[in-house]
Amino acid sequence: MSQKIKVLFYHRSMEMGGVERVILDLFQNLPQELFDITLLLNTFQGELRNEIPPHIKVTSVQKGREDMSAKKPIRFFQLVKRAIILWYYRKNPKALYNKYIKTDFDIEVASGYTDFDSVLNSPMKARKVAWFHTDVSYDPDQKRVMHRITSLKKFDWVIFGSRQTRDIIKELYNIEYPNSSVIYNAIKIEEARKKSLEFPVSYNQRPVFSSMGRLHVRKNYHTLMKVHKRLLDEGYNHSIAVIGGGTEMENLKNQAKDLGVEKSYLLLDSQINPYPYIKNSDYFIFPSESESYPLTIGEVMGLEIPTISTNVGGIPEMIEHNYDGLLVEPTEESIYQGMKLFLTDNELVEKIKRNATVSVSKFDNDQIYRQVTSVFEKQYKLKQ
């Protein structure tokens, strides 16, 4: 190929999350001799913004909260101004591209559903690729679901993060995507292992269940807290350490205060390096009501931490029940039974731990990079 394929990734920000980690991993591993990649961000904001590789060109529409004034009145004005500007560009995508994108691209990528409209409304004559990581079955807002799954039909190609993510749309809505593929997210097990040794972590109350995820209501941490309290009341001493920030933080703090578990249900907020907190725990619990193919599951298995996860989305494609992990339903009773089993059946826990050390070989990252490269090369050829 005489020239590089020019790819524009569109995304909202670089706040800590699974999609953002997928983007960074692709930037680090897609062949630089084939691709010239630009990242267009709505806001240059988030814990991961400084981890963008230097060979990636970055354009941001607005600055992040980190770069705003510490004075509340000025900061409020800056946030209002930013919201108005972003709203204007959403309504006038041609103006955005005229100001911020001075060149043509071969491929435009919507990194997640929040970016669908922006890429579909782009004035650029590029091949449009969508990444979709979301289990639509959990969402009660049917208008929102229909907008997302019909928007997917307008893309030239769709990459689904798990088989279940695509299959559930066919099952519930009888909509299929012939121009699509399933490509799992790459899981950086060796990197997680290395980072897990960077600093020591000690917990006051053991055994410890660690967990990691954005604090959103569908991540189900409010239910996990109820289970935690129930187990404590029955004499099963343990603590839970939740790594992650988000909109549910205040609600969870208030719930912990009401239940009297502030010292044993630890809300550790977002961490640039969460792996020492997980490595130094005894078990891992993933209580989410909906997922696609979460990176965290593979990383935790690589850290040899016995895992309990809800049986949702693409997780059964990662964990074999009662072999290298324990699958439960996203209900209070099922999570309770799973945690109680871990706290009382050491033989099961040790079996899962042993098997997980072997099972991590099923996560083949090189194959994932080859699959993404193939999709982009095919789209480039179709554009010519």
Range of the domain at 146: 5-186+364-383
| DSSP type of residue 185 | P
- Report the b/e string of 54-71 with b at 16+ CB within 10 A: eebebebbbebeeebeee
Claim to verify: residue 326 and residue 216 sit in the same structural domain: yes
Instruction: Tell me: pLDDT of 253 over 60.
Output: yes
Examine the domain organization and report whether 31 and 105 are in the same domain: yes
CA gap 272, 295 in Å, rounded: 15
Which pLDDT value is given to residue 380? 96
**CB under 8 Å to 30, separation ≥6 — which residues?**
37, 369, 372, 373, 376
pLDDT for residue 99: 93
Do 158 and 239 belong to one domain?
no
| Contact call for residues 326 and 352 (beta carbons, < 8 A) | yes
Question: Domain check: are 283 and 314 in the same one?
Answer: yes
Considering the domain architecture, whether residues 318 and 368 belong to the same structural domain is answered as: no
Mean pLDDT of 60-73: 96
Q: 73, exposed or middle or buried, with CB in 10 Å at 0-12, 13-18, 19+?
A: exposed
Are residues 228 and 325 part of one domain? yes
pLDDT number for residue 194: 97
Structural element, H or E, at residue 142: helix 142-152
Looking at the structure, tell me whether residues 208 and 250 fall in a common domain.
Answer: yes
pLDDT tens digits, one per residue of 163-185: 999 999 999 999 999 999 999 98
Do 65 and 9 share a structural domain?
Answer: yes
Q: What is the C-alpha separation between 293 and 309, in angstroms, rounded?
A: 12
Side-chain half-sphere of 375: how many Cα atoms within 13 Å? 25
Q: Are 290 and 136 in contact (CB under 8 A)?
A: no
Residues 216 and 314 placed together within one structural domain of the fold: yes
* CA dihedral (149, 128, 83, 15) positive or negative: positive
Q: Any idea what the CATH number is for the domain that residue 81 is in?
A: 3.40.50.2000
Q: Same domain, yes or no, for 15 and 152?
A: yes
Band of the pLDDT at 345, cuts 50, 70, 90?
A: very high
Query: Does residue 165 share a domain with residue 25?
Result: yes
pLDDT per position as a tens digit, 206-251 = 999 999 999 999 999 999 999 999 999 999 999 999 999 999 999 9
Rounded distance between C-alpha atoms, residue 331 and residue 119, angstroms: 37
Beta strand ranges found along the chain (DSSP E)? 5-11, 35-44, 57-63, 107-110, 127-132, 157-160, 180-182, 208-212, 239-243, 265-267, 283-286, 307-310, 326-328
Summarize the confidence of residues 103-124 as an average pLDDT.
94
* pLDDT tens for each residue of 34-63: 999 999 999 999 989 999 999 999 999 999
**What does the pLDDT average to over 91-108?**
92
The pLDDT tens digits of the residues spanning 279-320 come to: 999 999 999 998 888 989 999 999 999 999 999 989 999 999
47 is written with which tokens?
A: 């814990």
Number of domains into which the chain is organized: 2
For the chain, the first-to-last Cα distance in angstroms comes to 13
Inform me whether the pLDDT recorded for 204 exceeds 60: yes
Does residue 338 sit in the same domain as residue 203?
Answer: yes
Q: Which residue has the tokens 């912990």?
A: 256
Mean pLDDT of the chain: 95
The CA distances from residue 171 to 128, 136, 165, 167, in Å, are 25, 11, 10, 6
Instruction: Tell whether pTM > 0.75.
Output: yes
Greatest distance between any 2 Cα atoms in the chain: 68
**Interatomic CA distance for residues 331 and 227, integer angstroms:** 10
- pLDDT of 139 reads 86
Find out whether the peptide bond into 207 is cis, omega within 30 degrees of 0. Answer: yes
Q: Give the model's pLDDT for residue 2.
A: 63
Query: Residue 29 above 80 pLDDT?
Result: yes
